[in-house]
């Protein structure tokens, strides 16, 4: 009797046992199809002793139905799945699922059928067909994806295939990617770059887990350093994973990579087409020596792919908060990257100009090896940073740019240099109200104001995506044309620049305007060719870009991020401003940074202006130590939500009522979460502050495991939360 235990892709059920038919060979890691009730489910064969036991007798076991044609997941990856589930208090199934990256991508053969439009017209036009023809110009994807894209049913598209309006295209998902060449266009490294690269290379040759913190100021050439390590991996047929915080940055990175290695890497993120996804997945599971993927550049989800021969992980801009996933399995990709390297016994490089306090602490305690690049490459100087006290030199009424900043921008324009204005707020204005009755436009699904977007003439919720055209009259008092914008967003700042510098060519850079790789590439080209004088942008402009003629950075409102009770507000403000400041003076001309603030004395702002990073980190370290906050203590959150407000509150109270009484674990709440209503769900939250030594996950698991909740209630655990 051959009995196996599976981790199945159903978070509500634990592991299940099955019988292996005599004709089938499986081993731990095999990906199989199993019956579940009347349906089929995908599962991964696991070592039974590592999972809770099941009680079904041998005679009652149902047989496995089949095996997917992919290599078994390696033990290193299975250990990572277990660690992630354990550490983040998530179901094993939910983590395993991320590995198969929506399992559908795996079933079936390596060839898939996509469809595209031909020149033929349908014999009879219907509104649905017209909609499809409009939407699908230039598109090629699977039937299901096209239907979603066009907003029509698959049936409509089938009809068009029948008439030859859409034609099938066979896509081979096993065609290899172009090869990267280690020495294609290698630059001469500076001495300090060479020394840094050598340490990575030595660690790779030696083998074994080796975590590094590559701490180098903006423009110091960190990328070139880890490219050198990538070259070593290419030479020895090992794979490299480079994690980037933002898809918008990928385009510039890909071009740079291609210049250096002669071909683009494999890209992985959540908006790949299913054929691209399958092709990437299969290439990643194949060793480079057999034509598999060499270098993968991806968003955080790329961490959970089944690399056949991983040799190095790089987390670029490792301090970025977008590495933290806040839904589903709430993990921090930076930390999981280090664990993956540990299981794979390979080096991992966290690169940043403004490392997280946690990372610096790890370096201080000797767990990470810290490598410094103290100066900019090629003798470029770090920019001068000064503050503009908005209380002393306020902008004119209804404006947001203070006279000293405008004067500097004018000077740049006259000299033919570029300026960049940073404000981390999308849209035109963060709040819209009725001038007559003061009614504030609010999202129906979230506790958030609707943000006016003038470019798309919409009021939008930045949390759930709800959108509505601005109403002609106030819904409360009926006054017509009554809407007033309160406060600035980047669209409004761009308008102001056009008013005060009418000759300037302005580029607006936000996720609304740079919403595709093509648009991102277009912007980079315009800016590089100096066809842009002033760039106005959100956090999208703070990193990655390298424009040598950019000599002035203006921070429109440095106080914005310091508002609210966010634990990491100071650190985040410091990082954002230091990063955006790093865009100035990267070429031969020196850069200048002007920070508009009402609190120039605040320790973050003062440290930035003094160019004294250590002063900031020292002050922040003390504050965290005092508060028992990370890295000295632990935070965790339990988030309870339901569409029914009372149900959510009752469940949160039940959790609060059974809180454990432990000396090293303090529980705060429950209280309404900061986003008390999000996507139509009411949210309550409990915060846990524990000593570093406390087994906080075990405490939470036992605590929640003893409770039962109504069906409509979701209880999520957030270990090391970022925003609360
Ligand atoms: P960082 O990632 O630390 O911000 P980059 O790697 O982007 O720095 O380097 C900053 C600039 O200096 C880039 O334009 C890069 O091409 C250039 N650069 C860095 N190192 C070298 C080198 N060894 N040879 C030539 N150019 C270099
Ligand atoms: Zn909303």
| SS3 of 206-231 | HCCCEEEEEEECCCCCHHHHHHHHHH
**CA-nearest residue, atom 18 of ligand 1:** 221
- CB of 79 sitting under 6 A from ligand 1: no
**Residues forming beta bridges with residue 352, ordered by sequence position:** 215
Query: What pLDDT is stored for residue 565 in this prediction?
Result: 60
Rg of the chain's alpha carbons, rounded to an integer?
27
Other CB atoms closer than 10 Å to residue 384's CB: what's the count? 15
- Pair 640, 714: CB distance under 8 Å: yes
Instruction: Compute the distance between CA of residue 345 and CA of residue 13 in angstroms, rounded to an integer.
Output: 32
CA proximity to 64, closest of 91, 45, 92? 45
Please give the Cα distance from 623 to 562 (Å, whole number): 15
* Phi-psi map region of 415: left, alpha, beta (phi>0 left; psi -120 to 50 alpha): alpha
Q: Record the tokens describing residue 686, joined without a space.
A: 């409990």
Query: Sign of torsion, CA 147 148 153 154?
Result: positive
- Could you give the CA distance from residue 24 to residue 65 in angstroms, rounded to a whole number? 9
CB-facing half-sphere around the CA of 439: CA atoms within 13 A: 16
- Note whether 54 and 16 are within 8 A (CB): yes
Pairing of strands 681-691, 633-642: antiparallel
Ligand nearest to the CA of 443: 2
Q: Is the CB of 221 under 6 A from ligand 1?
A: yes
Cis amide leading into 314 (omega within 30): no
Any known ligand binding at 173?
no
**H/E element, 554:** strand 550-555
Catalogue the E-assigned strands of 483-542.
483-486, 506-509, 534-537
Pocket flag, ligand 1, residue 585 (CB < 6 Å): no
Please provide the distance, in angstroms rounded to a whole number, between the alpha carbons at the two ends of the chain: 52
User: Could you tell me which of 538, 570, 543 has the C-alpha nearest to residue 421?
Assistant: 538
Q: DSSP secondary structure string, 288-334?
A: GGGT--SEEEE-GGGGGS--SSEEEEEEETTT-GGGB--SSS--BHH
Q: Please give the C-alpha separations between residue 592 and each of 385, 410, 567, 586, in angstroms, as whole numbers.
A: 6, 14, 30, 11
Task: Report the C-alpha gap between 94 and 98 in whole angstroms.
Answer: 7
Identify the three-state secondary structure at position 405. helix
* 264 three-class SS: coil
Q: Which of 192, 221, 260, 546 to mutate to test the pocket of ligand 1 (most atoms within 8 A of CB)?
A: 221
State the DSSP code for 490: H
Longest Cα separation, the chain: 85
Give the Å distance between the CA of 226 and the centre of ligand 1: 11
Q: Using CA atoms, how far apart are residues 27 and 38, in angstroms rounded to an integer?
A: 25
pTM, entire model? 0.92
> Ligand 2 centroid vs 642 CA: distance in angstroms?
15
Pocket test for ligand 1, best of 194, 220, 224 (most atoms within 8 A of CB): 224
- Kindly state if the Cβ of 546 falls inside 6 Å of ligand 1: yes
Report how many helices (DSSP H) and strands (DSSP E) the chain contains, helices first. 19, 29
ipTM over 0.95: yes
Could you tell me if the CB of 605 is within 6 A of ligand 1? no
Q: Please name which of 269, 209, 211, 257 lies closest in space to residue 230, comparing C-alpha atoms.
A: 257
Cβ neighbours for 66, distance < 8 A, ≥ 6 positions apart: 24, 32, 33
Q: Is 623 left (phi over 0), alpha (psi -120 to 50) or beta?
A: alpha
DSSP bridge partners of 8:
43
Question: What is the pLDDT at residue 103?
Answer: 46
Residue 486 among known ligand-binding residues: no
DSSP state of 503: T
Which residue positions in the chain have pLDDT lower than 50?
103-105
Output the CA 486–ligand 2 centroid distance in Å. 19
Closest listed ligand to the CA of 467: 2
According to the annotation, is 464 in a ligand binding site?
A: yes
Residues 6+ positions from 250 with CB-CB distance below 8 Å = 244, 267, 269, 297, 517
In whole angstroms, what is the distance from residue 273 CA to residue 203 CA? 36
Short-list 297, 188, 286, 199, CA closest to 241: 297
Please give the distance, rounded to the nearest whole angstrom, from the Cα atom of residue 318 to the centre of ligand 1.
18
Q: What single DSSP character describes residue 670?
A: E
Q: Give the span between the Cα atoms of 583 and 551, in whole angstroms.
A: 8
Q: How many residues does the chain have?
A: 724
Residue 351 CB less than 6 A away from ligand 1? no
Ligand number nearest CA of 451 is: 2
Q: Please tell me whether residue 433 adopts helix, strand or coil conformation.
A: strand
445, 464 Cβ separation under 8 angstroms: yes
Whether 607 and 615 have beta carbons less than 8 Å apart is answered as yes
- Strand bridging mode 239-243 / 310-316: parallel
**pLDDT value at position 111?**
86
CB 595 within 8 A of CB 385: yes
How far is the C-alpha of 556 from the C-alpha of 667, rounded, in Å? 38
On whether 461 is known to bind a ligand per the annotation, the reply is yes
482 marked ligand binding residue: no
Atom of ligand 1 nearest to the CA of 222: 3
Q: Half-sphere exposure (CA, 13 Å, Cβ side) for 105?
A: 22
- For 91, 283, 641, 652, 679, the CA distances from 673, given in Å and listed in that order, are 23, 42, 9, 11, 13
Q: Which residues contact 198 (CB under 8 A, 6 or more apart)?
A: none
* Å from CA of 363 to ligand 2 middle: 40
Pocket mutation for ligand 1, best pick of 217, 377, 382 (most atoms within 8 Å of C-beta): 377
DSSP class of residue 534 equals E
Ligand closest to the CA atom of residue 445 = 2
Burial degree of 263 (CB within 10 A; 0-12, 13-18, 19+): middle
């Amino acid at each position: 009797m051959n009995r196996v235990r599976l981790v199945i892709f159903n978070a509500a059920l634990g592991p299940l046992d099955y019988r292996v038919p005599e004709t089938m060979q499986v081993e731990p890691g095999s990906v199989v199809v199993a019956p579940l009730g009347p349906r089929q489910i995908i599962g991964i064969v696991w070592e039974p002793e590592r999972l809770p036991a099941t009680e079904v007798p041998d005679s009652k076991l149902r047989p496995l139905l089949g095996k997917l044609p992919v290599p078994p997941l390696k033990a290193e990856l299975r250990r990572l799945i277990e660690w992630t589930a354990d550490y983040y208090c998530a179901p094993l199934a939910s983590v395993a699922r991320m590995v198969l990256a929506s399992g559908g991508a795996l079933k079936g053969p390596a060839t898939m059928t996509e469809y595209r439009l031909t020149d033929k017209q349908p014999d009879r036009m219907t509104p649905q067909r017209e909609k499809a023809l409009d939407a699908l110009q230039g598109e090629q994807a699977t039937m299901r994806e096209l239907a979603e894209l066009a907003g029509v049913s698959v049936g409509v598209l089938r009809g068009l295939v029948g008439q030859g309006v859409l034609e099938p295209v066979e896509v081979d998902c096993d065609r290899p990617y172009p090869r990267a060449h280690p020495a294609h266009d290698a630059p001469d490294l500076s001495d300090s770059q060479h020394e840094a690269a050598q340490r990575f290379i030595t660690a790779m040759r030696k083998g074994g887990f080796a975590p590094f913190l590559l701490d180098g100021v903006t423009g110091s050439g960190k990328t070139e350093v880890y490219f050198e390590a990538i070259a070593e991996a290419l030479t020895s047929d090992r794979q490299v994973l480079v994690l980037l915080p933002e898809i918008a940055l990928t385009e510039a990175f890909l071009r740079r990579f291609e210049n250096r290695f002669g071909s683009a890497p494999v890209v992985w993120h959540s908006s790949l087409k299913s054929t691209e996804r399958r092709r990437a997945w299969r290439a990643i599971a194949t060793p480079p020596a057999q034509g598999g993927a060499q270098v993968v550049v991806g968003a955080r989800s790329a961490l959970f792919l089944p690399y056949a021969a991983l040799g190095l992980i790089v987390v670029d801009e490792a301090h970025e908060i977008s590495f933290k996933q806040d839904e589903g399995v709430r993990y921090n990709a930076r930390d999981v990257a280090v664990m993956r390297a540990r299981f794979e016994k390979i080096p991992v490089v966290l690169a940043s100009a403004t490392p997280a306090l946690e990372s610096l602490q790890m370096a201080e305690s000797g767990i990470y090896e810290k490598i410094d690049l103290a100066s900019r490459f090629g003798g470029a100087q770090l920019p001068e940073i000064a503050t503009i006290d908005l209380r002393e030199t306020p902008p004119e009424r209804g404006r947001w740019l203070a006279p000293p900043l405008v004067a500097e921008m004018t000077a740049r324009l006259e000299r033919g240099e570029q300026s960049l204005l940073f404000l981390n707020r999308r849209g035109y204005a963060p709040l819209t109200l009725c001038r007559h009755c003061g009614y504030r436009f609010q999202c129906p699904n979230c506790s958030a104001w609707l943000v006016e977007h003038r470019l798309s003439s919409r009021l939008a919720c930045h949390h759930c995506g709800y959108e509505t055209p601005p109403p002609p009259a106030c819904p409360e008092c009926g006054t017509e044309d009554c809407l007033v914008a309160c406060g600035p967003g980047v669209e409004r700042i761009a308008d102001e620049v056009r008013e005060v510098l009418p000759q300037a060519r302005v580029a607006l850079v936000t996720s609304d305007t740079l919403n595709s790789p093509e648009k991102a590439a277009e912007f980079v080209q315009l800016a590089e060719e100096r066809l842009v004088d002033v760039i106005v942008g959100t956090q999208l402009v703070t990193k990655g870009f390298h424009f040598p003629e950019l000599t002035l950075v203006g921070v429109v409102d440095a106080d914005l991020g310091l508002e609210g009770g966010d634990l990491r507000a100071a650190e985040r403000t410091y990082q954002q401003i230091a990063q955006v400041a790093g865009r100035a003076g990267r070429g031969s001309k020196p850069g200048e940074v002007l920070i508009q603030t009402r609190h120039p004395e605040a320790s973050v702002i003062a440290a930035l202006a003094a160019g004294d990073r250590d002063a900031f980190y020292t002050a922040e370290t003390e504050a965290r130590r005092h508060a028992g906050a990370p890295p000295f203590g632990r935070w965790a959150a339990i988030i309870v939500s339901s569409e029914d407000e009372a149900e959510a509150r009752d469940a949160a109270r039940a959790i609060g009522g059974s809180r454990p009484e432990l000396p090293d674990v303090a529980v705060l709440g429950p209280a309404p979460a900061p986003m008390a209503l999000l996507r139509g769900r009411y949210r309550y939250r409990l915060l846990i502050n524990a000593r570093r030594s406390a087994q906080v996950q075990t405490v939470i698991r036992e605590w929640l495991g003893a409770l039962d909740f109504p069906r409509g209630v979701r209880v999520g655990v957030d270990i090391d939360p970022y925003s609360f």
